Amino acid sequence: MTRLTFGAHPFLLGFDQLDRLVERTAKSGADAYPPYNIELMGENAWRITLAVAGFGNDDLAVTLEDRQLLIRGHRAEEADERVFLHRGIAARAFQRAFVLAEGVEVAGATLEDGLLKIDLRRTSPEPVVRNIQIARV
């Protein structure tokens, strides 16, 4: 049986990357750490907030790779030899990915009170209408 993909449909020209985006999104959503919220901040603005208790600015990296927002956290091992009776604050390395639509860009990121806030905005909210001249041959 042949699987019909977005890129193979005759009316969806140029959407061949959509299958790859859907697969990437499905793979990246498997882990629940760290927990996060997504808020609507305006008509064309969003905020992703991740709970990153124990991580500092130097432990976090936010990058945009091919419309995929990647948030990575990695803490260096502590040199002191503390003995924990209970260790409930997770400090393990993580990577969280979000696929952004075309025209959505990262407006900025802040770290405050153990919460990493990443602001997103759509740069061109209005569809562009353009007349195409037909050349005579």
Please tell me the distance from the alpha carbon of residue 18 to that of residue 118, in angstroms, as a whole number.
24
Query: How many whole angstroms separate alpha carbon 4 and alpha carbon 112?
Result: 46
Half-sphere exposure of 125 (CA within 13 A, CB side): 7
Residue 55: Cβ-neighbour burial (10 angstroms; 0-12, 13-18, 19+): buried
For 14-62, write each residue's pLDDT tens digit.
666 666 666 666 665 556 789 999 999 999 999 999 999 889 999 999 9
2 lies in some domain: no
Does residue 102 belong to any structural domain of this protein?
A: yes
Residue 100 in any domain: the answer is yes
Comparing CA positions, the residue from 16, 19, 20 lying closest to residue 7 is 16
- The predicted-structure confidence for 59-107, as pLDDT tens digits, reads as follows 999 999 988 999 999 987 776 788 889 888 777 899 999 989 888 999 9
Supply the pLDDT for residue 27: 62
- Domain membership of residue 23 (yes or no) is yes
First to last CA, the chain: 45
pLDDT value at position 4? 60
Query: Is the confidence at residue 6, as pLDDT, over 70?
Result: no
Six-digit token string for 72: 């990575």
Residue 97 lies in a domain: yes
* Structural domain total, the chain: 1
Q: How far apart are CA 84 and CA 64, in angstroms?
A: 37
CATH at residue 112: 2.60.40.790
Give the pLDDT of residue 98: 92
In a domain, 110, yes or no: yes
Q: What is the per-residue pLDDT for 3?
A: 60
Instruction: Identify whether 56 is part of a domain.
Output: yes
Domain span at 101: 9-77+89-122
